[in-house]
Amino acid sequence: MHAATAWRPVFECVCLSFKYKVPTVQSIQAQAARKNVATGLLLALFGAIAFSGKAIIVKLAYRHGVDAVTLIMYRMLFALPIFAVMAWWASRGKPPLSRRDWLGVAGLGVTGYYLASALDFAGLAYISASLERLILYLNPTLVMMLGWVLYGRSIRWGQALGMAISYCGVVLVFGLEARAQGADAAWGALLVFLSAVSYAIYLVYSGEMVQRIGALRLVGLATTVACLCCLLQFVLLRPLGAAVVAPEVIWLSVLNAILCTAAPVLMVMMAIERIGAGMAAQVGMVGPLSTILMGVWILDEPFTLWVAAGTALVMVGIFVFTRMSRRPAH
């Protein structure tokens, strides 16, 4: 009796082991992979939403009488320490950059972050946040067209179709604003479009540099260059007294620098590591929608059937464009 009683827990454990399977290495790895993908999707989602909030904050700051040069100076002033630390962190244990690399970083910093940001901020003084986001969302098509102009890369019919659909959407929303604001809307749309072109140039030429020095190091150094350019621009174009602004502008600039500049850069890069650039770009399609919703909610921007139709055309066009871009050439 004592022997049977002693072995009873063992038999119970054996029976339970058949009922409840012990997790295998493969199942644990699968669970970790699913968790990694979920984390990547959330990072891409929050990064896209945070990026889209930039235009809202800029429009709010303009209500306090600040101009584009001063506003971007404050944004970059508060973002500078974050990007400098990012550059230092990514450069640890790496060989120093050559003179050629420094010139490349400086050029990419000027085109990709300084000019793109300066033109974007200037354009937002004339057009709505919704139209601004739709224009910037055309960036993949501009990269494709630059590749065709500079390197002779072919454009497939599906890509051309997607581009045509998306540009029709932008023209539709622009036409509504132009009818209401006239030449100001045209000037603002042109500035934002040039901002998108400037950033597309950065994307076209940054590929080789990323392979040579790494993505995080390039972003940290290039954005640091852009921050210094914005500070120098303010010193050259404005008297020091122009730095005296309403307290709301300071707090909005801090929010812009952290929440809408540094944080989304890191979130999107971490998302790409987990789910890849293609899936991260698909999640990024929420950006225009979040900008429009925040514009309606926070800025009281009108949301009409025509704006909805134009937004839908842009998103469908970019979706078609990106899907066709991923298909292998025959």
Instruction: For 139-208, give the secondary structure using H, E and C.
Output: HHHHHHHHHHHHHCCCCCHHHHHHHHHHHHHHHHHHHHHHHHHCHHHHHHHHHHHHHHHHHHHHHHHHHH
Distance, in Å, from the CA atom of 137 to the CA atom of 44, rounded to the nearest integer, reads 16
What is the C-alpha R_g of the chain?
A: 25
Q: What is the pLDDT of residue 18?
A: 44
- Other beta carbons less than 10 A from residue 139's beta carbon: 17
CB distance 194 to 116 below 8 Å: no
The parent domain of residue 182 ranges over 44-326
- CA distance linking residue 8 with residue 209, whole number of Å: 67
The pLDDT of residue 121 is 94
Q: Is residue 19 part of a domain?
A: no
Total tally of structural domains belonging to the chain: 1
Structural domain contains residue 249:
yes
At position 119, the amino acid (one-letter code) is L
Q: Is residue 17 a part of any domain in this protein? A: no
Task: Measure the CA–CA gap between 187 and 283, rounded to whole angstroms.
Answer: 31
Asked whether residue 229 is assigned to any structural domain, the reply reads yes
The whole-model pTM stands at: 0.82
Amino acid letter, 194: L
Q: Tell me which residue has tokens 């119970």.
A: 12
Q: Does residue 58 form part of some domain?
A: yes
List average pLDDT for each run of 10 residues in the chain, which is 330 residues long: 52 48 56 72 88 92 94 95 92 90 93 92 92 87 85 83 89 85 88 93 83 86 94 95 94 93 83 75 79 90 87 87 67
- With a CB cutoff of 8 Å and minimum separation 6, the contacts of 312 are 169
Residue 128 domain-assigned?
A: yes
Domain assignment present for residue 156? The answer is: yes
Tell me if 35 is assigned to some domain.
Answer: no
